[in-house]
Each structure stands twice: as C-alpha cells, then as structure tokens.
Chains A and B, each alone.
Chain A
Amino acid sequence: MKKPELLVTPSSVDDIERLSEAGADAFLVGEEHFGLRLAGEFKREDVKESIKIAHAKNKKVYVAMNALYHNDRVEDLADYIAFLQLVEADAIVFGDPAVLMTVKEVAPNMKLHWNTETTATNWYTCNYWGRKGAKRAVLAREINLDAVLETKEHAEVEIEVQIHGMTSMFQSKRMLIGNYYRYQGKNLKIERHGKEEALYLYDPERDNRYPIFEDVNGTHIMSPNDICMIDELDELLDAEIDSVKIEGILKSPDYNEKVVSLYRKAIDVYTENPDEYFNIKDNLYAEIEAIQPKNRKLDTGFFFKETVY
C-alpha cells in the first residue's frame, strides 16, 4: 500500500526541524501578501531557509499563493514566482487563475496545486484544473468521505485531503472586527486585529466559538471544531489519497509536533499492519483529545455528514 504524504503547516522556520523529526513529509508555508490563513508568516528569507532545511531531510516545501488578488497585487506575482523557482520550492498552491497564467509565463516547470478551499467539490473540476496545469487538487472540506473516495477514483491529478485541524469558513474583504470597534466608538485608528489577539465569535444558539482574525486579505472566520480523522484513516489510506494535511493554524508548535507524530504512527502502523491500527486507533484519538486546547472540540468535519440545499 502506498503511503500518503503527511503535510503540515508550520508556524516558523524552527518548526521545520521539529515537525520533520515528528514525521511530516511536506510543509506548506508562505506570507499573507500571497497566501491565505497561514500558520506562520514566512518572508522570502524564511521560505528559502525552510526549503534548505527540508530538502536536506528529503522533505518537500510548498508555498501558498492562494489569495484572491486584486489588480495591485497581480504585478507582484511574477517576481515572487521567479523567486520561488530560484529557491526550488516544490510546488505553488494557487486558487486564482492569475497565478496559473503567471507561472506559465515565468516558471513553466513549476508544479501547481489547486486550492480554493471551498470549490473543489467534484472530480471533473479537479481534472479540469489538472488539464490547465495543476498537478494536485486540494478537496473542499465540505464534501463527505464517499465523495472524496469517488473523486480519487476518477482523478487524473493528485488528491490532497485535510484530515486534522481547523478549517476556513469565511473570507470577507472588509475589516469586520475593526468596523465593529469603530461602530462602538472605540479604536478609531485603523489597525488589524490579527491571529495573536485570540478573538472568536460566540454563537449562543449552538454554543459554538468561531475564531476570527484580520489580515491584509480581509477578515477570516474559522470552524468551531477541529477535524480529527486519526481513528478513521483506513478508507482514505486504502484509497491511496496522495496527501493528507494537518492544519496547524492557531495551534502551538508543541501541539502540532505531537499531532504529527501521532498521525505518523497511525499511517505507518496501518500500512504495515492494518489489524494493529484498529487496536491502537482509540488510544491515538485519546492522546489527541488530551492535548486539545480550551474550547476546541474534535469532530469528523463533513466526512460523515450530509448537507442539504
């Protein structure tokens, strides 16, 4: 059985070493000027350093360029892509076709992963972006396990699936936190309310807490629970999903290190001895549950949930 790539989002260059030791195969890094909702801010020097460290350990580094660009930032794409080619990034993650167009112009051999977060909902469209040049599609989190498996069966591109952590629910270009403060009459200066402020929206009807933060791309609202599929990996692994992702945003390096090591173990055990995986999976789940931060429950996202419309 082919092992999937175990992909994680580090919060700093220092994490690359730790998370590699813990068993990660690949990293997603980037800066908010080009990428969305990153676990850490990696400026060009950091990206270069991360790639150096990772490549020495035979690990991969992908760089996020999945923002929605307005005209003013389109001008910056070519230079950044040329830089990523120079430092030998393993792939660029994009959502906006402007990136695809620019990669064709300045770095036609650069690998591309298609990820808009919400719109990779059927296999045809994954293959469509494959025909346009993407090597991989990152599936929307809002489709269920059957749809994931069916998509993998029909896919002509690699398929990446998030199996752990927070997901994005919403992006607005407006500064919704700052606007609220200004409406209240406080905080009249324009400033961003970033991830470090640990703000959330409380929804009393559902007793849910949705993390919210602002950055250069606007306001982001995140899911109330963390996906945790460590005890439900068998079908994903049987289907040979190409990459499984642990989202590290808004989590500590210690937490991410521990979670990566537990998934590493789960994947290795299942691929070598499936029966043994079924013996240990509840314990692996319990180990994650034990380190969950305050207010963050675990669930299985949409893998086993039906949506209507």
Chain B
Amino acid sequence: MAIENISTVKDGKRVIVKKPELLAPAGNLEKLKIAVRYGADAVYIGGQEFGLRSNADNFSIEEMREGVEFARQYGAKIYVTTNIYAHNENMDGLEEYLQAIEDAGVTGIIVADPLIIETCKRVAPRLEVHLSTQQSVTNWKAVQFWKEEGLDRVVLARETSHEEIKQIKEHVDVEIESFIHGAMCISYSGRCVLSNHMTARDSNRGGCCQSCRWDYDLMKQTDDANYPDIPMFSEQDAPFAMSPKDLNLILSIPKMIDIGIDCLKIEGRMKSIHYVATVVSVYRKVIDAYCEDPDHFEVKKEWIDELDKCANRDTAPAFYEGTPGYQEQMYGNHSKKTNYVFAGLVLDYDTQTGIATIQQRNHFKPGDKIEFFGPDIQGFSQTAGTIWDDSGNEIDAARHPLQIVKMKVDQQVFPYNMMRKELKWQ
C-alpha cells in the first residue's frame, strides 16, 4: 500500500495538503488555554483517575468541559489520557468516569489497557480510542492488530525510526501519532518497573519516581565470595547513568510530514506555560512553513534557538534518526542552564501610551534584557525601562510572584504574549 498523496500543486507551487495535527500537553486549564492560543491543534490532558502522572494537577470533569469549550472556539480537540495498566482494584468507577468524559465533549482517550479500551467502546462509544505509547507498539503487524480491534489511532513506541514508521504507514491505514519533543523513558514504555522495586510506587499507574535517572555504580561480580567485586569505572569517571537527552525532532519534521504521520506529539503535562507556549509556537511555525512551501523550506536558526530558551536538558533526535549512542545520554551533571527565564505574562496593552500591563512570573528590573513572543506578534527584544506597580508608583524591580506591573514596551503586544528575561551567567 502506498502512502497517500500528501501534496498537490497549486498555482504552479507544490503545497502540503495533509497537515499533521500538532498535539500539545496541558497539566491544567491555564496551560490548556495557552497551548491552544499558541497554535496546538489538539491538547491532551489527564483526569483525576486512570491516567499516568498521578502527581500532575489534572482536570476535574468540570474543568475538562471548560477546556473543551475553550478549545472548540479555536477548532482544537481535547484528548484525555487514561493510560494506566489497571489492577483489579481500579475497575470500580471506570464506566462512570468514561461516560463523564464523553459527556464533557472530549474527542478521545489515550489508553493502554484492553480493559479500558473495551469498556470505553461499550459505555462511551462516541469517544475516539487512541492506543498509548505505553503499549510500546514497534511494528506494522501490531499496528494492524490494534486497527482490527477498532482503535482510531496508534501512538508508536518512541523506539521506532523514520524508516520503520514509513513502513508502518505503507502497511496499515490507521492514524499514526509520534512524539516530536520532550522527555522520554529510557526503557520501552510500560516495560519498566524500577519504581515498583525501588520505592514501592507503581510506574504503570502513574507513580513513576524516575529511578532510571539516578546514578549507579557499574560493578562486576567475582565468583569467589572472598574477593570483592570489581568497579567498572575509575575514580574520575562519572557514575553509570541511564538519563536520555530529551527528544527534539525539529529538523525531522519535513520527513515526518512527507511520510504522512497524522499527529505530532509534544511531551510534558508537568511543564510550565512558558515551556508549552515556546515549544508549541516553534513547531506551529515549522509545520505551517513547510506545508506552505515544502520545496523552498529551511529550518530557521531562530526556531532552533527559540526551543533552547525553554530547555532545561540537552536534546537529541533519539531513535527517529537511528539507535542513540552515549552522546544521546547524560552522565554526571544532567541539567543544562538556559540563558532565559520566563519573566512575565502580558495581561493588557494600551495603544495610546504603549504601556503594557504584565503579571510577574520571575524577578525583573529596569535595565534587564527582555524579549516578547506570542502567537500574534513577531518576537522582539528590548531593554526593560521604568516599572510601575498597579497604583502607578515607580518600583526598582518586579520582585513578587504574580505582581501586576506596568512597563513601556517597544512594539505592540497582546494579552497572553509572554516576556522572557535574558540571564547573565558569570
């Protein structure tokens, strides 16, 4: 089976007609609205039961309803993750929960356990059912199985490569969703119970405590009980670690669109609104620019730099571009300093005075190098000038979380635009 034709020629220019869905995460209603405003075609959220990330905020049914209504104004869809591997004790309340999700107007659920798949089909048949990456589907024949089981979409294992996904699209006609950005399990998803063993927290029901990201000593056992075991590292070596760099497929997006992947997914229900806004807006631009003119498309350096501004870990393309080696893992210090911090959220702008009303999200003061970005503006940078509090008194710095301040900005901004501050590292 050939991959469907994704492009057509219009006015002598080739354009992509099959644009993939850009799917963003949201841990709460504020993040959901930001994701939609910044260009997500769909947002996935967690409910208060049956989802992984049991320590994320998660949505009540009422909040889901509000999220769905908000998204609808933008033509965006909402999916709910119900991707635990249920234990017997988790069966109670499942039917009512799925019906409530359906009634809230949610488009579909993301699910791993056949218990939840079949229950959903029985009690909430209007919901689409998407197979979670927790099932670690790695081949076309397994995709075929799940299609025959009536699933609407399969989220592939993060271990699948470009060539493999292409073959899957060639063999099976079902929607395919693939991750493009964010943190990743280093194990096959659903096949890791390190947390269960080390901390008695069930990884496959949302209790994962990321034991894989701790440091260990790699040792060789000796047969003789009288001889000590041998360390496989020397004193100056960093300890054994299994921490993968985060996924970043910005350079691969054209290839992903070319093979007809239906949905491109960003990871991170625990991430901030600044992270969601930055990542969604960059991928929105990449997808739109490529689809508009695929033959003259180039990834702009400013997009790559922009993604870096919200990254707290190094990134890599992982399995999409081949099997990752040690350069795609992190040893020793696992974190990375970005040069930017989210400093404020624009609430209002006065076109007469050029003064913006800003909700503080991090300390900033006159003289700081700042920049604004948002879905409705070209990003720009400036130096922060005089700052006033909401009573009009000049202040030496915006120091209080969520404090409302005013400041003159160089160009027009709009509500929900964001302001970053550049950090000066010593």
Segment at the interface with A among B318-326, B351-359, B417-425: B318-326
CB B50 to nearest CB in A, in angstroms, measures 11
Q: Is B263 an interface residue (CB 8 A)?
A: no
Q: Which listed residue (B190, B197, B201, B237) contacts A309, Cβ 8 A?
A: B201
Whether B142 lies near A96 (C-beta < 8 A) is: yes
Residues of B within 8 A of A129 (CB): 114
Give A124's nearest chain B residue, CB to CB: B115
Interface segment, one of B202-210, B292-300, B388-396: B202-210
Residue of A whose beta carbon sits closest to that of B167 = A71
Contacts of A174 in B (CB 8 A): 186, 244, 323-324, 329
Check if B197 sits within 8 Å of A199, measured CB to CB. Answer: no
Given known A68-B188, A118-B191, A307-B207, contact A179–B326 (CB-CB < 8 A): yes
> In the complex the two chains form, what is the Cα distance from A308 to B146 in whole Å?
30
Interface residues of B in 6-49 (CB under 8 A from A): none
Give A225's nearest chain B residue, CB to CB: B197
A180, B326: Cα distance in complex, Å = 7
B191 touches A171 (CB 8 A): yes
| Least CB distance, A257 to chain B, in whole angstroms | 19
- Contact (Cβ within 8 A) A71 B139: yes
Which chain A positions have C-beta within 8 A of B159?
68, 70, 173
Within 8 A of B (CB), among A190-216: 197-204, 206, 208-210, 212
Give the dominant DSSP class at B's interface. loop
Q: Are B217 and A202 in contact (CB under 8 A)?
A: yes
Given contacts A125-B115, A147-B88, contact A221 B218 (CB under 8 A): no
State whether A201 and B216 are in contact (beta carbons under 8 Å apart), knowing that A170-B194, A306-B200 are contacts in the complex. yes
Task: Tell me whether A122 and B115 are in contact in the complex, defined as CB-CB below 8 angstroms, given that A70-B164, A142-B193 are known contacts.
Answer: yes
**A150–B207 contact, CB under 8 A?**
no
Number of A-B contacts (CB under 8 A): 211
A223 touches B140 (CB 8 A): no
| A173-B319 in contact (CB<8A) | yes
Q: Smallest CB–CB gap between A57 and chain B, Å?
A: 33
Q: Interface size of B by Cβ–Cβ distance < 8 Å?
A: 74
The distance in angstroms between the C-alpha atoms of A191 and B86, with both chains bound, is 38
Which residue in chain A gives the minimum CB-CB distance to B236?
A: A184
B141 touches A143 (CB 8 A): no
- Which of A98, A170, A175, A180 makes the CB contact (< 8 A) with B187? A170
**Interface presence of A283 (CB below 8 A):** no
* CB within 8 Å for A199 and B220 given contacts A101-B145, A123-B88, A184-B237: yes
Q: A68-B138, A122-B86, A309-B201 are in contact. List 10 more A-B contacts (CB 8 A).
A: A69-B141, A98-B142, A119-B113, A121-B85, A121-B113, A128-B118, A182-B325, A199-B220, A203-B214, A218-B188
24 pairs from A and B in contact (CB 8 Å cutoff): A71-B139, A77-B141, A97-B142, A97-B146, A102-B141, A117-B191, A119-B204, A121-B85, A122-B85, A150-B88, A169-B196, A170-B187, A170-B191, A172-B242, A174-B329, A176-B186, A183-B331, A199-B221, A200-B221, A201-B216, A209-B219, A223-B197, A306-B200, A308-B200
Instruction: In the A-B complex, list the 5 residue pairs whose CB atoms are closest, starting with the nearest.
Output: A309-B207, A98-B141, A97-B145, A179-B326, A201-B216
